[in-house]
Homo-oligomer: A and B are copies of this chain.
Amino acid sequence: MPKQQKRTAASPVVKDRLKRCRRHMKRAGISAYLVTNPTDYFHLIGFSGEDSAVLILPREVHVISDGRFDETINHECSWATKWLRKGLLNAEIGTVVRSLKLRSMAVQAEHLTVDQHGVLRHHCKLRRLGAAPSIVGDMRRIKDASELTTMRQAIRIAEAAFEAMRDTIRIGQTELELAARLEYEMKRRGSTSPAFATIVAEGRNAAHPHARPGRRKVKRGSALLFDWGARVGGYCSDLTRMIFVGSIPPRIETIYEIALDAQCLAIKAVRPGARMCDVDAVARNLIADAGFGEAFNHGLGHGLGLDVHESPSLSWRSTDKLKVGDVVTVEPGIYLPGVGGVRIEDDVLVTATGHRVLSRLGKHASDAVIRSKR
C-alpha cells in the first residue's frame, strides 16, 4: 500500500519536465514509463534517493523506494505517491504494477541490466514490457535556464578553488597533495564531491590523458596538468589548465601553443547545426598539420551536465549535430610519451547565435607561469 503523506505541489520546473516527458511518452505510445536511472529521475522530479524507481503515468507519479529515503521523499517530492519496499525493489515494482492494474510498461533499456529486466518481467506479469526510447537522456541534453545557473556555479567554484590552490603550490609538494588541496578548496565552497577523480600530473606523467596523481613532486621548471571539476546541485563542471613552475620547458611550450590554437579554433566552430565530427576535425587537423596527429588520441569533448560524460559526444565518430542548449567540453590534448603532455579544456554552451564559453580562467601560456616558491 502506498504511504499517506502531507502533500505540497510540484515546482514549476518539475511540472514542465513532466509535461515534456509525457509528451514524448505519448508520441512513443507509452502509457507507463519506469525510470530506474537515478540521474534521470533526479532530473525529472528532483528525487535524489538511490536504489529506487519512479513510475510516470499520464496523470500520476509513483516513487518506489525504501525507508532510508522516506524523509528525502517527503522533502523532495511529497506530491508523488510513495511506496516504501521492505523486500527487493523489483518485487515492489511488481506490487505497484499489479495494484495499478497496468497492462503495459516501458523501461529504460539503456540503464536496466539484462538480469533486472528478467526479474522485473517475472514480478510484473505484464502483457507488454517494452523498451522506451531514450526520453530523459534526450531531455537532459538541452539545458534550461535553471540548469545553466547551477552549472555556472559549479564552474565558478572550480575556478575559485583552482586559484586558491595555485597560491599554495610549493617546490617539493606531491601531485597528491595538490589534488587534495584542490578538492578541499572546491568542497569548502559548496561542491558536494569532485565531478570526477581530480587529475594532477607533473612532467612526463601528463603524457597519460587519464593520469592519476601520485608521489611525483613539483620541481623548478615543472609542467603541471590539472583536470578537475566541482559538482553542485548534481551538476558537473570540467576544466583543464596547465601550470608552469618558474618557466615553460621548450618542447612543452611548442605543443602548448598548438593545443591552445586548436582549442580556440574549435570553440569558434561551436554553433547550432555544426556536426560533431566537423568541430572535432577543426582541432584535429590543426594538430595533425603541426605534426602531432598521433599524439591527440581521444575525442575533442563531451556533453556535460548531471553526468560528467553525457550526450552529445563531440567526437570524430559522431555525425550528430550540436543544438541550442548543449553544454560541451572542448579539450584537445597533445601527449608525448616519456616527455609530457598538455591539454586545455573549457565548458561551452551552444547558443542561438553560436556559443558562449562558460569558464573564465585565463589560458595563455603567460597566465600559466607561476613563481617558483619553496
Contacts and interface: CB of A to CB of B under 8 A. Distances in A.
A71 interface: yes
B70 A297 contact: yes
- Interface secondary structure of A, over-half rule: mixed
Interface string A160-200: 00000000000000001101110111011010111001000
Q: How many copies of the polypeptide does the oligomer hold?
A: 2
Interface stretch (A13-21, A103-111, A356-364): A103-111
Interface string A106-120: 010111111101100
A87 interface: yes
A2 interface: no
Contacts of A185: 180
A235 to B, nearest CB: 15
B87 A114 contact: no
Contacts of A210: 49, 68-69, 72
Nearest to A316: B86
A5 to B, nearest CB: 13
Contacts of A298: 66-68
A131 interface: yes
B317 A87 contact: yes
Contact of A187 (B49, B86, B180): B180
A337 interface: yes
A212 interface: yes
Of A118, A180, A197, chain B has the most CB atoms within 10 Å of the CB of A180
A217 interface: no
Interface in A36-86: 49, 66-72, 86
A46 to B, nearest CB: 14
A331 to B, nearest CB: 12
Given A115-B110, A210-B72, A176 B188 contact: yes
A240 to B, nearest CB: 14
A209 interface: yes
Contacts of A194: 193
Given A113-B110, A113-B113, A114-B131, A68 B183 contact: no
A152 interface: no
A208 interface: yes
A176 B58 CA distance: 40
Contacts of A181: 184
A118 to B, nearest CB: 8
Nearest to A177: B188
Contacts of A179: 187
A72 B208 contact: yes
Nearest to A67: B297
Given A183-B183, A188-B180, A209 B113 contact: no
8 contacts: A66-B298, A71-B208, A109-B115, A112-B113, A114-B131, A176-B188, A183-B183, A183-B184
In the A-B complex, the 5 residue pairs with the smallest Cβ-Cβ separation, listed nearest first, are A180-B187, A67-B297, A184-B184, A109-B114, A180-B188
